[in-house]
Structure 1
Amino acid sequence: MKIVIITGGSRGIGASTARKCAEAGMGVIITYNNHPQAAAEVVNNIASQGGKAVALKLDVTATATFPIFAQAVRAEMQKTWARSTFDFLMNNAGYGRFNPIATVTEAEFDGLCNVHLKGPFFLTQALLPLMADGGQIVNLTSATTRVATAGVAPYAAFKGGLEVLTRYMAKEFGERRIRANAVSPGAIRTDLGGGLSGEFEKLLASQTALGRIGEPDEVGGVIARLLSDDNRWINAQSIEVAGGYFI
């Protein structure tokens, strides 16, 4: 059985990806930071459908805790699946903040950098010894790296950095046949940055060729399929899942 680790897997796209991966027969490890009950619900839902999942607490901004987290991952894999390695890592955890450049504070800037770029960099580094050869890393980026949206400059800049990092991961980990790809959602119905509703949702829908915003399952399903052997020749790519956003 293949095993996938999904950071920020308690809600939204992360939770959807966890369920889709479990439906595809994978073992699932999700992480949570502030929502343990939501994480437990995802784990229980997967178990009710005959799958296996565990939830571990992780703050992706606390890089000093990554070695301890790696030990916890190793212990859970041995206990639940009798394995010492995992196959897939999805760097998904994050949050949004909407401020024009003129009002962004240094603390806000650093917080977004830590969760969207520094965290994935050093978490991948910490977990790499536990990843099986032939695995895959999926970094969740954003369509805001392609289309400038006022108010999200730091978020988009760090997602852009993560997109570049994805190609470097593919380059450097290729000797172990580890692939790295980015998945770039457009406007999706999650609670990132306070969620979408009302006139803002209508605006985003009007800017999308298919005339609506997306649902988490429409991204989670793409990621689960990307992890399958059928897509083993896709590497170092950024795949936008946005319904035709600003084309």
Structure 2
Amino acid sequence: MVEQNKVSLYGIWASPFVKTVEFALKVKGIPYEYLEEDLWNKSPLLLKFNPIHKKVPVLFHNGKAIAESLLIIEYIDETWKTDPQLLPENPYERSQIRFWASYMHQVFWALAVVVKTSGEAQEKAIKEMFEKLILLEEGLKGLFPDGYVASADEFSKNVLEWIMFAFFSSYEAVHEVLGINVTDPEKTPLLFSCITALMEIPEVKESCYPHEKMVAFLKSLREYALKTTTA
């Protein structure tokens, strides 16, 4: 028998999609069991719970599996009605959260292509990634017209801020492995200021990816991808 209200999260420590769900659970104060998956040897349960994409995160609650990070966040918000609410009730504001969250996902996948390619293909991927980053910077100006100031002592309740942090806070590891600045104080000053401000919040800083571990992960991922491509 499935234990009522038991929450399990299937994830990979380096996944920003998983980290955003962890933030949602943390903000809501929901106890959960975390189950680490192997990127190269996924468990039968993960493949059963997410047979379409075969990816993390997957949230398991009351005998039911929910996949895709944004859908999981919405599910958490609608299942646990306690404050704080993760997504705004105002339809327009909610649509903006969804749009820019989805766009940050696109930027992340553009970066993933950079990690997995070399030569001319990588140069093209880098160009496309920076084009998306510039558009994201312009979008952030609309979301934060007066600049960005993070609370010094409170974990953010803004889903977009979690996603920014989860996707871009490992920029130093990316620079070490690829030699490119994903967040640049000159090219993307608002994105850079958002990330650096968020990293000053103790609760957020505790959630930072371990630098050396992330460097090793990115190198391993890149080596595997390049080997597979040339095989």
Structure having the higher Rg? 2
Q: Which has the higher helix share?
A: 2
More strand by share: 1
The two structures have a TM-score, normalised by structure 2, of: 0.37
What is the TM-score with the length of structure 1 in the denominator?
0.36
